[in-house]
Chain A
Amino acid sequence: MTDTTLKLPKARSETGEILHHLLRDPLGLAGLVIVTLIVASALFAPWIAPYDPVAMNIPDRLQGPNLAHLMGTDQIGRDTFSRVIWGGRVALQVALPTIGGAMAIGLLLGMIAGYGPKWLDSLIVLFFDTVRAFPTVMFALAVVALVGPSLNTVIVVIMLTSIPTYGRVVRTLTQSLKEAEFITAERSLGAKTPRIMAIHILPNVLGPLAVLAAMDIPTVVGLEAGLSFLGMGVKPPTPSWGSLLNDGYALIRNTPWLIIAGGIPLILTTLGFTFLGEALRDVVDPKLRGRGGK
């Protein structure tokens, strides 16, 4: 107790500090472990998956879980476990660029709207509201009908419709920060607008935004699964959690295992990222850090 309080956390960087506190939160730890597992299995899919996810093996079709096939096989004998692992790749391939892109654009537009002149603010908010007015799935279906199903279409559509989520939060935060006394204090010490935005507003916005992003990943993964379920995402042989669900849905009378195998990773992703997001929320604010712990 005494020596931990005496130790000054001098050498630790900001990221190290966040990680340190995250690991002390059981929920955060659980989230981190699940997320790491999902990301690692997606990254190392070729080494982890025991079979080729698209290789057919008709004699072994529609098996339940057994030692040879951990999660059984589908109607043409493909190994479900391998498809789940490879499906994670597709899920993250969609989620990461989507969230990354939406966050970056939302951050930029939100900060401009929140700090800039009134007319620009109105213009950007109008854009947000217009985009938000389209239901994501309907919009995606329309675009897919127009240009044909592909993973890139899904990415672009979800990204575009997610921009307002981030943009609005950033705009509101920027607006309240703009009025904060420490911003006036910085201005009274001669700081320029770009400087205030980059050094004082950005770090204050980034924390809540990271939390939002972590919580948003399951939504995007779910959207991709939904679109693939509807046959609008990845093309057939490519494994995706959504297409697994689709196969399972069609074969529900023959075997429950396909739908379970498609559903579990979705549930795990949701739980993992939500835990992580909630733990992050407490940790990114330096003031809330070390509550309870230490």
Chain B
Amino acid sequence: MADILEIRDLSVGYSTPRGSLKALRNVSMAIPDRRIVGIVGESGCGKSTLISAIIRLMAPNARVGSGAIRFKGEDLLARSEAEMRALRGTAISMVFQDPMQTHNPVLTVGRQMVDIQYRDKLSKAAKLKRAAEMLALVGIPDPEARLNQYPFEFSGGMRQRIAIAMALMAKPSLLIADEPTTALDATLEVQIIKRLKELQDEIGCSILFISHHLGVIAELCDEVVVMYAGEVVEQGSVRDVFHAPAHPYTRALLDCDPGHIKVKTRNLPTIPGNIPDLVDLPKGCIFAERCTKRHEACTARPAMWNAGAGHQAACHLLAVEETA
């Protein structure tokens, strides 16, 4: 199966008054065609930097150090701004975290949905009809009438559906979803996830799904990438990673998921310590300081080791197993 998106050895830094903040370091991953890949990691692990690099809407102080982002075999980093713009919204689309903020507050939903079809030479009536069809597709009842309403007349869940409808309007081959359900309540989350999966099937696109909710990733995704402090620490199929986590960080993350805790407790578990300083990085393994399985080897940077077929993790423990 061909990969729709392939990221090779990507490093991105932010220039700050203290020096370069290395937000992403040698990140490699792939999104296969018609698959849903999830990225998990705590705040500040580089998820957002990664997406902004893919869609090339980076902060002004961001610098790509090295690496390549290949979309359908072509390096996006080598594209001009105009070429990049032609891709956005047609081949690559995005859904954002906060549905209350993703729509222009003073324009009706219909106007906004017609407007993003500016590339197509269709009559306004045809564009409106298509907008209504998209709204129906994401499960908004009475779409024709609702096109005349303003964003504030919709609930958060509805607005996120509209955002998804807008992103999928041009039938992109890659949809990037940046924590699209984090701002919604649990029942809505399930509905949106279900609908997203159905739509992905129908349109035949790939999805890069960012979340820190492990349950959602397990429910929706085929593959998962675990990131920590700007590095990929583990990746593999959802089943392998969740059932047999190879990296101590993934294991700790799973232990902290309230859904996994069987015993009644007042205090939810946490991973002690903080993310290391990304301006002044520690020498060896990035997770060593917080790791319960730390040993002498951890002062050196671990390589990516195979933990199974299509399942890798960056931990010295795997090296021990493999050589033993």
| Chain A residues within 8 Å of B, Cβ to Cβ | 8-10, 180-182, 184-192, 195, 199-200, 203-204, 207, 285-287
Contacts and interface: CB of A to CB of B under 8 A. Distances in A.
A46 B106 CA distance: 42
A232 to B, nearest CB: 41
Interface stretch (B97-105, B211-219, B286-294, B302-310): B97-105
B115 interface: yes
Q: Is the interface of B mostly helix, strand, loop or mixed?
A: loop
Contacts of A8: 145, 148
A184 B106 contact: no
Contacts of A204: 104-106
Contacts of A181: 96, 98, 101-102
B87 A203 contact: no
B57 A187 contact: yes
Contact of B104 (A10, A195, A200): A200
B105 A189 contact: no
B148 to A, nearest CB: 6
Nearest to A183: B104
B106 A190 contact: no
A10 B102 contact: no
**B57, B115, B119, B176, most chain A CB atoms within 10 A:** B115
B26 interface: no
Contact of B96 (A184, A190, A199, A203): A184
Contacts of A186: 104, 116
A286 B57 contact: no
B83 to A, nearest CB: 11
B55 interface: yes
Contact of A188 (B88, B104, B118, B152): B88
B102 A190 contact: no
A88 B304 CA distance: 81
Interface in B43-92: 55, 57, 85-90
B184 to A, nearest CB: 15
Given A190-B90, A195-B118, A286-B152, 16 more contacts: A9-B148, A181-B101, A182-B101, A187-B57, A190-B87, A190-B89, A190-B116, A191-B89, A191-B118, A199-B104, A199-B107, A200-B104, A204-B104, A286-B105, A286-B106, A287-B152
B242 interface: no
Interface residues on B, range: 20 to 34
Given A181-B101, A195-B118, A286-B150, A203 B106 contact: yes
Contacts of B104: 182, 186, 199-200, 203-204
A199 B118 CA distance: 12
22 contacts: A8-B148, A9-B148, A181-B101, A181-B102, A182-B105, A185-B103, A188-B55, A188-B89, A188-B96, A189-B89, A190-B86, A190-B89, A190-B119, A191-B89, A199-B107, A200-B107, A203-B106, A203-B107, A204-B106, A286-B106, A286-B150, A287-B152
**A10, A188, A195, A287, most chain B CB atoms within 10 A:** A188
A15 to B, nearest CB: 13
Contacts of A185: 94, 96, 102-103, 163
A180 B96 CA distance: 12
B166 interface: yes
A213 B170 CA distance: 41
Interface in B140-170: 145, 148, 150, 152, 163, 166-167
A223 B150 CA distance: 40
Contacts of B57: 184, 187-188
Given A181-B96, A195-B118, A207 B106 contact: yes
**B85, B103, B104, most chain A CB atoms within 10 A:** B104
B173 interface: no
